[in-house]
Structure 1
Amino acid sequence: MTLLRTYALLLCCLGMSGVRAQEPAMNYDESRVPAYTLPDPLTMSDGRKVADAESWMSERRPELLALFESQVYGKAPGRPDGVHFEVLSEDRYALSNMATRKEIAVYFTDDEEHFMTLLLYVPNKRTDAVPVFLGLNFKGNHTICDDPLVTPSTLRTEPGKGPAEGFPRASAASRWPVEMLIANGYGLATVYRGDIDPDYDDGFQNGVHPLFYRDGQSRPAPDEWGTIAAWAWGLSRAMDYLETDEDVDPDRVAVIGHSRLGKAALWAGAVDTRFALIVSNDSGCGGAALARRRYAETVARINRLFPHWFCDNYKRYAGSEDALPVDQHELIALIAPRPVYIASAAEDKWADVKGEFLAGVHATPVYELFGSEGLYGTELPPADEPCMSGRIGYHVRSGGHDITLYDWRQFVKFADNYLK
């Protein structure tokens, strides 16, 4: 081992031990959740109360959005001038003639060197443009269903931590019920997350970040975007294309994500108001779960395990969640008055099931400003009994950390209320 590598490893260990020192013991006991006070989404930083929807939209919402940008996810660039699209393939007889499949290159720059590939299915049985679910996938576009003509995505995982040959075709099909969505009149659009930014700490050198570095810059500033915000940015670039596709109704696009990609979907929905409906599945800490509960995964632990996900400023709150100027109920509130669905799994304690539910409950006063119902109660509803009476939907599913056909069926039922 070289002296330089030994020194680097020593610095890494010292940094990790500093974060570990701030971590409380892992808590899976509801009785040990500390007393906490959530920031009021309807109180401005100067103490003024928000009394109506107009004040929320013109004053409080921009204020909260700026706090999440600078302290949690990081500021991302807008749409680059060079964004453009190319349809790489189209098949009007996909999935046994049920759907039309397109593969689209979304180029981030004029030089066409940097791009992501959007996979889009739309039902052939339609009379007009259709609503679409848009989400990122973990393993590659070719893994979401058994369609032999989908181009395999190039795997971009941490060296030594993924199969060298990539993941098999249809290996993630249980998470993407494409034919069910098509049968219910919905399209599906997806992008491999690695096309936007690889999910490991590479110093922000191998994703979209370097495309926007200023002269002399080598990594994002402390208040600039991490990987979660980069994925959300990529979802917006996918939306840029969907606005141009005559088969898609751009006013009826739902953004969806599971686990860490659920965090990205929530942030995309908060930042980009073109998304008509937002779905978070098992998104946990930094997603739908309240940080101040300090249940299971905490701010300290998530920043140690995944130091690239959030902006560097978020690391300040490791072990100091009460100092955060925001909490995740306010992320849900930023979506108002658009509908949002939060899904949990009963055995997924790491994601803090109750914290996800309570985030929806505490976002409800903002939805009420718009004359809409939200989510109510202090105790979790029974497993497998969805709550869909308001614009904040919720269910806790039996089982563990996953996105299943049951989950998707609830998302479709909820979407039918708003996108059909």
Structure 2
Amino acid sequence: MQESSITKHLIEESGERKLPDPLYTNAGEQIISTEQWESNRRPELLEMFKEHIYGRSPVNRPDSLSFNVVETKSVMEGNAVLKKVDISFEGPGGKGIIHLKVFVPTNLKKPAPAFVLINKFNDEQERKEMWGYSPEKSMIERGYGAVFYCTADVDPDEHDEFKNGVHGIYDEEQRPSDAWGTIAAWAWGASRVMDYLETDTDIDSDKVAIVGHSRSGKTALWTGALDERFAFVISNESGSTGAAISRGKIGETINQINTKFPHWFNDNYKSFNDREFELPVDQHMLLSMIAPRPIYVASASEDLWCDPESEFLSLSFATSVYQLYGFKGLGTKQPPPIDSPIIGDQMGYHNRYGKHKLKEYDLVQFMNFWDGYFEKENGHKKG
């Protein structure tokens, strides 16, 4: 009964994709105000994403959570301070530590806005070789703090029946079919990073962006939907079960992602392998839950596995929710030319020339967007 009411309300202009409309509840009620959205539809969508895709975490902020700044030193010829912070927690299955790196510019007289970069590499040299540049240097020069959160500290990216990482610390002996997967565990860790940042007087915790690439981009989006403390949410080439619409998507499908990475999502999601059109949600609805906060989605022209068209359409079809709040969104339904960013109203998008990677070009566009937002709000100016 519920499924038929969902599929009854489709976004007409989406053509063959037949996307469910985020502005109709499961009972068929049309959402026409932000009050209805926040009290009814958004919580309803959040529950559906937990049930069918990402899973439910058994713990939020643990009572045992503690922070320890283990090292502070001047770096970048005195232009920044690097703090190494241990975020510790424990549960029935043991203890865990997130080893955080926080770079803060020294040329600001007030707390700095910051980017949290979800990173799968612990070793600094390894990530530099992978990226080919030092993102913290670019951010410090622009007056932003740079916070590096390594997902492996929370949950290793491997399928071991959820015995390692935070699953081993907090999971019940019998995991239900909607228990959290690894993406949700990484999102949980990102929220613990925000718990720390709220205590750091060098960082403006009201102006923290979260950015991730690929699987980390999926994590950034789910984090942003769950944790509204993040002021700006950025997805770089997150593809399947990230920014890209699942219905009609080319490249990686739900079946393929669940087969190759069975630990990323909950068990319920596997029941939709090759049944994308039967999902009661799609990823434009995930993006809509970021509203009214700013969101940026980035693609790469040769990254067909992620499918730039489906990433752009997802952002475009989330616009109706932003319009509830009085924002125009992207301001266009046409994908832009390659290397031609769209800076819209609370929304940004670009399709960079090249392959699957987080490049310096991408970060520059994110900072340009964030600069413009702060200038509009009479806040942060370029450093």
Calculate the TM-score normalised by the size of structure 1: 0.83
Q: What's the RMSD between the two structures over aligned residues?
A: 1.7
- 1:199 lines up with 2:199 in the alignment: no
Letter in 1 for 2:79: M
Alpha-carbon distance, 1:315 to partner? 0.5
Report the equivalent of 1:150: none
Report the equivalent of 1:223: 178
Is the 1:296–1:352 Cα contact (8 Å) retained in structure 2? Answer: yes
Report the equivalent of 1:104: 85
- In the alignment, the residues of structure 2 paired with residue 138 and residue 175 of structure 1 have an alpha-carbon distance, to the nearest angstrom, of 16
Alpha-carbon distance, 1:170 to partner? 3.4
- 1:396 lines up with 2:351 in the alignment: yes
Report the equivalent of 2:10: none
Of the candidates 71, 95, 101, which is equivalent to residue 119 of structure 1?
Answer: 101
Report the equivalent of 1:148: none
Of the candidates 25, 47, 54, which is equivalent to residue 44 of structure 1?
Answer: 25
Which stretches of structure 1, 4 residues or more, deviate above 4 A after TM superposition?
none
SS at match of 2:217: helix
Of the candidates 67, 71, 76, which is equivalent to residue 85 of structure 1?
Answer: 67
- 1:370 lines up with 2:325 in the alignment: yes
Unaligned runs of 5+ in 1: 1-32, 144-167
Letter in 2 for 1:276: A
The structure number with the bigger radius of gyration is 1
- In the alignment, the residues of structure 1 paired with residue 281 and residue 371 of structure 2 have an alpha-carbon distance, to the nearest angstrom, of 32
- In the alignment, the residues of structure 1 paired with residue 83 and residue 38 of structure 2 have an alpha-carbon distance, to the nearest angstrom, of 37
Alpha-carbon distance, 1:390 to partner? 1.5
- In the alignment, the residues of structure 2 paired with residue 293 and residue 68 of structure 1 have an alpha-carbon distance, to the nearest angstrom, of 19
Of the candidates 287, 292, 315, which is equivalent to residue 360 of structure 1?
Answer: 315
Report the equivalent of 1:234: 189
- In the alignment, the residues of structure 2 paired with residue 279 and residue 230 of structure 1 have an alpha-carbon distance, to the nearest angstrom, of 18
Is the 1:104–1:117 Cα contact (8 Å) retained in structure 2? Answer: yes
Is the 1:226–1:311 Cα contact (8 Å) retained in structure 2? Answer: yes
- In the alignment, the residues of structure 2 paired with residue 36 and residue 169 of structure 1 have an alpha-carbon distance, to the nearest angstrom, of 38
Matches within 5 A, 1:168-317: 168=126, 170-174=128-132, 176-214=134-172, 216-217=173-174, 220-317=175-272
Is the 2:128–2:134 Cα contact (8 Å) retained in structure 1? Answer: no
- In the alignment, the residues of structure 2 paired with residue 269 and residue 329 of structure 1 have an alpha-carbon distance, to the nearest angstrom, of 14
Is the 1:139–1:172 Cα contact (8 Å) retained in structure 2? Answer: no
Unaligned runs of 5+ in 2: 1-13, 375-379
Report the equivalent of 1:66: 47
Q: Could you say if the C-alpha distance between residues 333 and 176 of structure 1 is closer, same or farther in structure 2, counting changes exceeding 3 Å?
A: farther
Is the 2:20–2:282 Cα contact (8 Å) retained in structure 1? Answer: yes
Q: Could you say if the C-alpha distance between residues 319 and 47 of structure 1 is closer, same or farther in structure 2, counting changes exceeding 3 Å?
A: same
- In the alignment, the residues of structure 2 paired with residue 412 and residue 174 of structure 1 have an alpha-carbon distance, to the nearest angstrom, of 18
Letter in 2 for 1:128: K
- In the alignment, the residues of structure 1 paired with residue 36 and residue 107 of structure 2 have an alpha-carbon distance, to the nearest angstrom, of 43
- In the alignment, the residues of structure 1 paired with residue 53 and residue 37 of structure 2 have an alpha-carbon distance, to the nearest angstrom, of 21
The aligned length equals: 360
Q: Could you say if the C-alpha distance between residues 266 and 175 of structure 1 is closer, same or farther in structure 2, counting changes exceeding 3 Å?
A: farther
Report the equivalent of 1:23: none
Is the 1:278–1:339 Cα contact (8 Å) retained in structure 2? Answer: yes
Which stretch shows the higher mean deviation, 130-139 or 264-273?
A: 130-139
Calculate the TM-score normalised by the size of structure 2: 0.91
Report the equivalent of 2:367: 412
Is the 1:34–1:294 Cα contact (8 Å) retained in structure 2? Answer: no
- In the alignment, the residues of structure 1 paired with residue 26 and residue 127 of structure 2 have an alpha-carbon distance, to the nearest angstrom, of 50
- In the alignment, the residues of structure 1 paired with residue 254 and residue 134 of structure 2 have an alpha-carbon distance, to the nearest angstrom, of 30
Alpha-carbon distance, 1:141 to partner? 4.6
Is the 1:34–1:293 Cα contact (8 Å) retained in structure 2? Answer: no
Is the 2:118–2:210 Cα contact (8 Å) retained in structure 1? Answer: no
SS at match of 1:117: strand
Alpha-carbon distance, 1:376 to partner? 4.2
Identity of aligned residues (%): 44
Alpha-carbon distance, 1:75 to partner? 0.8
SS at match of 1:39: coil
